[in-house]
Structure 1
Amino acid sequence: MSFFRQNATIISGIGASVLLGSGLTLLLVRLNSISRDLRQLAASVAKLRDEVKDFQDKFTIRKRRRLQGFYSVTASSGDDDDDIYQDAYGGSDLESLKELTGEYVQLTENSTVGTDIAAKDIFKQTEDLFEGSNDDKQLAYELLITNKSKISGTEEFYWRLSKSAYLLAQIFNEQGNPERKKELLYEAVESATTSLSLNEQDGNAHKWYAITLGSLNEYQSTQDKIKNGFLIQEHTKRAIELMPSDPSNHYMLGRWCYSVYMLSWLERKVAATLFASPPTATIEEALDEFLKADKLKPVKWKENMLFIAKCYIELREYDKAKEWLNNASKVPIKDANDKEAQVELETLISKYG
């Protein structure tokens, strides 16, 4: 009996070992499975984090450029997400916001940052963005539109919105979207008109009304073009009176003079029929304004230099025209207007250069 009991004990021990081994194997399998699941979860979290970051970069906290000394203020819809961003960045304390250099921070309606302070800061950032890339210019437009309910009570907001819509229209034109371009140009004129209605003593309001009104030429009849021509001249001259050192005002008046000088015979007949005193200008007047713009501009301006050359061509001073054409061609291309100017420059250089 002892033999059987001893063997039974041995068999029982072997069975226990087998069971223990099976248990350990099962445990290891489960641990490996859990480890694999954790790695997959970590990868999913990392992917989700990247997607959230991309979303924030596009729509919420954009670090397009470092704006030293600026803090950013954008309007809030009052949603929970806005409160989350508030908490994440330490609330709406002014000094905390100033430390967030270059970031666009969502503020709630209860923000302690005053409307005037917010407006000044947004205007500063918008001006910087206007000088940046296409993405920066689009961000400037979004920044103004988003904050319209908070800071739209002044002419300064509306002429900047007009400028922003105009710049964005050029981008859509470059991208082959003429419908959106047209919408934005009419929007730009409307904003400039509002700016003028709020303060007729603001030179930028006159300036952007003249620029945006002139941009509608391709959608208008000859009669409307000539009619608006008087308004463009009037507001451009007023802008020069209020801001005589702004080179773009002189450039605009130069373009007006050049366009009137270059009117076709038919357009002149229409103007004479519709108006007792049709618009008149000489090529010398146009050249004078373009040269003033060139003198006032701190950096070389390809488009303005092109028109100086075109004026010298009309005056048959071909040596001067050739010099301006060649110098203008060397100026780096920065935007869509420069691209168009470069095409015309190369055509004229092949003929006169």
Structure 2
Amino acid sequence: MFKRAFSLRYVFNSSYKRQIPKFAAITGGTSVGIAFFGKSEDKKPDLAQDAGISIDGKPKNFDLIVRNADELYDNYLIDNCYNILKKFESSNCSELLWRLARVVCEKGKLSKDPNQRKELILEAYQIVQKALANEPKDGCFGAHKWYAILLDYVGEIEGNKSRIEKSFQVREHLEKALSIFENDPTTWHILGVWHFSFANMGYATRMVAKAIFASPPASTYQETLHYFLKAEQISPGFYSTNIYYIGEVYEQLGQKQEAIEAFKQSFKMPVVTSDDAVIHKKAYEKLKKYGVKDSEVV
């Protein structure tokens, strides 16, 4: 259903727009890791050991833990981020648990072993369920967002029928996330993918959906475009996949020139992760289809 739905490189912190330095694209941001952990083993801070628990259930050095973990994740230092957050797996802190689920999910996506990928995705899903169960009264944006993302991944593992069955719940949690924090571009993007998937649903999938629901999920390309453009409005150029999807929607609407411009913009964006590489290739293929010369985009 969600063809490229939740393969987000930085389904990250609320309003943070990651600016990837050139060295990060080449080295994975090694110098950031050095800055956090230093060169000497005995100088590395043990955030878990010094954490303690405050009266609201958060570790006493919560802000430091989150800041370090988010910086590492945003610079795609996945293993380093995991090493920080894994220590808090037994906690009931929703904010730390959804971040742990996020990084475990990313480790799964990076795995070349299908069985290990499945195991890590299911592990991440269990963690985010715990994050949601411990959600504070004022809500937890990240827990709802990542529950939706991982619920869809679980549906993918279980098969197309299961994925469709879970689709309304996926949308519900994404909308709940936006009701808590409305200025997160990636949540708008994911909702755009949700709507695109149902606007672009093939006949066979539509028949499965009709067999499951009396009124199966449906959407339009105009509605889909609203979500992608809203994401761009919040954070212009934040994600090559979002711009690529805008091109695909314009293509479906018959707006050829707008589609070409979106594919050009998507193609020109930096390639940092495997997701970026996939979109870079797809955008290039679209441009060649429309007869755009390399000299016009390079």
8 Å CA contact retained: 2:210, 2:216: yes
Equivalent position of 2:65 in the other structure: 122
Change (3 A) 1:275 1:189: same
Task: Indicate yes or no: 2:84 matched with 1:143.
Answer: yes
Of residues 167, 170, 175, the one that matches 1:229 is 167
Match of 1:166 in 2: 105
Is residue 351 from structure 1 mapped to residue 289 from structure 2 by the alignment? yes
Q: How does 1:106-121 map to 2 (within 5 A)?
A: 106=46, 114-115=52-53, 116-121=59-64
- Aligned: 1:336 with 2:277: no
How far the C-alpha of 1:179 sits from its partner, in A, is: 1.9
C-alpha contact 2:94 2:135 (8 A) present in aligned 1 = yes
Q: CA deviation at 1:298?
A: 4.9
1:240-279 equivalences in 2 (<5 Å): 240-279=178-217
Q: Could you say if the C-alpha distance between residues 107 and 337 of structure 1 is closer, same or farther in structure 2, counting changes exceeding 3 Å? A: closer
| Aligned residues of 2:48 and 2:87 also touching (Cα < 8 A) | no
* Structure 2 counterparts to residues 1-353 of structure 1, below 5 A: 64-67=33-36, 104-106=44-46, 114-115=52-53, 116-133=59-76, 136-149=77-90, 152-172=91-111, 176-199=112-135, 201-352=139-290, 353=292
Structure 1 residues 283 and 147, CA gap change in structure 2 (3 angstroms): same
Q: Which has the higher contact order (CA 8 A, sep 6+)?
A: 2
Aligned-residue offset at 1:253: 0.4
Is the CA contact 2:32–2:72 (under 8 Å) kept in the aligned structure 1?
no
Task: Give the whole-Å Cα distance in 2 for the aligned partners of 1:108 and 1:300.
Answer: 32
After TM superposition, the structure 1 stretch with the greater mean CA deviation from structure 2, 246-255 or 234-243, is 234-243
CA contact (8 A) 1:300 1:331 kept: no
2:89–2:97 contact (8 Å) kept in structure 1: no
Displacement of 1:66 after TM fit? 2.0
TM superposition shift of 1:108: 9.1
Whose helix proportion is higher, 1 or 2? 1
Q: SS at the partner of 1:214?
A: helix
Structure 1 distance, partners of 2:48, 2:148, is 37
Which amino acid in 2 is paired with 1:190?
A: Q
SS state at 1:343 partner: helix
Distance 1:286 1:105, change over 3 A: same
Tell me the CA shift for residue 178 of structure 1: 1.9
- Specify the SS of the correspondent of 1:311: helix
TM-score, normalised via structure 2 length: 0.78
Q: What letter corresponds to residue 255 of structure 1 in structure 2?
A: V
Question: Given the superposition, is the C-alpha separation of residues 153 and 312 from structure 1 closer, same or farther in structure 2, using an over 3 Å criterion?
Answer: same
Does the 8 A contact of 2:82 with 2:104 survive in 1?
yes
Q: Which runs of 5+ in 2 are unaligned?
A: 1-30, 54-58, 293-298
The answer to whether the Cα contact below 8 Å between 1:170 and 1:336 also exists between their aligned partners in 2 is no
Change (3 A) 1:269 1:187: same
Deviations along 1:177-221, one digit per CA (max 9) or x if unpaired, are 222211111111111111111117111111011112222343222
Q: How many residues are paired up?
A: 252
The offset of 1:300, in angstroms, is 3.9
Following superposition, the deviation at residue 286 of structure 1 comes to: 0.9
- Following TM superposition, by how much is the alpha carbon of 1:299 offset from its aligned partner in structure 2, in angstroms? 4.1
RMSD across aligned C-alpha pairs, in angstroms? 2.2
Whole-angstrom distance in 2 between the partners of 1:336 and 1:233: 26
Structure 1 runs (4+) greater than 4 angstroms displaced? none
CA distance in 2, matches of 1:273, 1:107: 51
Identical columns (%)? 26
Amino acid at match of 2:84: L
Conservation of the 8 A alpha-carbon contact between 2:88 and 2:97: no
Instruction: Tell me the amino acid that sits aligned with residue 214 of structure 1.
Output: D
Of structures 1 and 2, the larger Rg is shown by 1
Match of 2:25 in 1: none
Give 1:125 shift.
0.6
C-alpha distance after superposition, 1:134-165 (max 9, x if no partner): xx21111121113434xx12111211111111
Match for 2:254: what amino acid? R
Q: Distance in 2 between matches of 1:300 and 1:158?
A: 25
Whole-angstrom CA distance in 2 between matches of 1:323 and 1:182? 37
Distance 1:130 1:227, change over 3 A: same
Q: Distance in 1 between matches of 2:116 and 2:243?
A: 30
TM-score, normalised to structure 1, is 0.67
